[in-house]
Every structure is written in structure tokens, then in C-alpha cells.
Amino acid sequence: MNFADMTAKMAAGNGFIAALDQSGGSTPKALAGYGVGEDAWSSEAEMFDLIHSMRERIITSPVFTGDKVIGAILFERTMDGTAGGKPVPAALIEKGVVPFIKIDKGLEAEENGVQLMKPMPELDALLARSKAMGVYGTKERSVINSADAAGIAAAVGQQFEIGRQVLAHGMMPILEPEVNIKSETRADCDAILLEEMLKNLEGMDQQVMLKLSLPVKSGTFDALVDHPKVLRVVALSGGYKRPEACVELSKNRGIIASFSRALLEDLRHQMSQAEFDASLGEAIDQIHRGSTQKI
């Protein structure tokens, strides 16, 4: 797949994006869910080797194909690793899965109800290296915790600023201003976020992708789904268990999944390969239905 092929798949592909991008802070929790306790490693390098083994097992599984999984978001160390003896981006592309890379370096402390992204001084170098490896796009996350108009405007503005930097490298940015689903003002957050997103999209001359929390009110983000400057809207599971996440997803037309925990929640290190493939296949089928069969 070349860039045009990947863009076409992202625009109209009948599937979802797998988020395989847990970073340093969330890796121990991801490994624990996989059945690997913290006593299994004695250094950060060993921890990342263990999480990479899990991701390689997923990527090389025969049920993980571009038929239903149209894209995958990678952690930088995963991008730099191998799967089945091939560089991970190449292994994904061979399966018809479009590779993305998580570029944010974590979150700042909360201010005005939001957590902005930390500075990324080495971003240009990372983008150049990622593009050379065949990576199509990026993903960047900030968090909205309460309905503070100034805070949400700042978070969205930062997302678009970094998005333009990504576009300048000839890559596709996924902008992710996540609304915390535990927020007491979540519906108001959705409304302010929608307004700010539409405002910023008007100033764009290229398309972007959006990764959003599933809204309180189904259809809230229809205007973003239909916007000519938005290639695709995807949704995070945000802490929902997979069945609930898929039900909420199915209520929102045009939005496909980009799930992490909800994709991996039933996988265990101790499973035989047949058990692992069956469990992963069941998760893929369920998330695919939520992404493509709308109610």
C-alpha cells in the first residue's frame, strides 16, 4: 500500500483501528491484564520486551488482518521492533493494516479542567524516521476532565497545532482530545469540544482524522463525521468494557473503533496459540460489528 492506498482505506475501509500503543506509564497495567505480573521483569527494558511479545503475538495472529483491522497505532518502541522477523510497519502493511505511531510524550498537570500534551522537542526527527519506515500517520492524546471553555479551547488548539506539524511531513494526524467518561460535566464537555473542533477545522486546508470519546448523546459528532476536512472519526473505549463500548459505538453513525483495553481485555499470556487466536478473533469480530453495523 502506498500513501494514496492507505488514505483510501482510512476513508472508506470497512473495519476499525487497533490501538497497540500503551506507553511506559500504562504498560504495567496492560501486562497485568495479560496475566504478567510485575515480578516478571526487573528493568524497564525487560518490561518493554514483554509487552512487545504480546503485540507481536497479536500482529502475527492469523485472525489479525486488514479485512477487519484496517489500521494499528504503535508505540515508538513497537515501531522499531519486529514481528515475524520483519519490521513492524512492514509486517502490518503486508497484512493490509495501515500503521500509525503514537507521538505524544504524556500529559501535563491539569489546568483549566484539561491536561495538555507535554512538549515534543524531537517530534520532527521522529516523524521523518517514522515516515521512512512506511508509517502512514500519527496519534496524539490530551484529556478533558471538565467543561471549562478556555481549557477545552486550549486543548483543541494544541491538537491542531501539532496536527499541522504532522501534515507538513506528509503524514496523517489523528487528533485525540479525549473527554474523560467519568467527568461530571461530560455532556457539556462534548458540546464545547464539538464547537471548538468545528471552529479549528474551518482553518484547515488538509484533512485530519479525529479520535474522540463516545459521546453522552448519540449522534453528537455527526457534524464532524460529515465534515470535508475530516477523513475519518474513530472512537476510544475510554474505560468501557468491550460489550458496552461496542453498543455505544453502534449508536454513532460513521464512527469506527480505535480500541486498546477493549480489544485486549480477554487475552492472556498463558493461553495456547489456538486459544489466543480464538479469543482475539472474537474480540475483533465484536468490535468490527460495532464499527460497521449501526443502529
Cα 260 versus chain centre, distance: 7
d(CA 87, CA 80): 7
**Distance between CA atoms of residues 165 and 170, nearest Å:** 9
211 is catalytic: yes
Among 56, 140, 176, 196, the active-site one is 176
Rounded CA-CA distance 78/88 in Å is: 7
Which are the contacts of 247, defined by CB distance < 8 A and separation ≥ 6?
Answer: 290
176 is catalytic: yes
Candidates 9, 95, 139, 211; catalytic one? 211
Q: Residues 77, 89: contact at Cβ < 8 Å?
A: no
Give the number of C-alpha atoms closer than 13 A to the C-alpha of residue 207, restricted to the C-beta side: 17
**Residues with a known catalytic role:** 176, 211
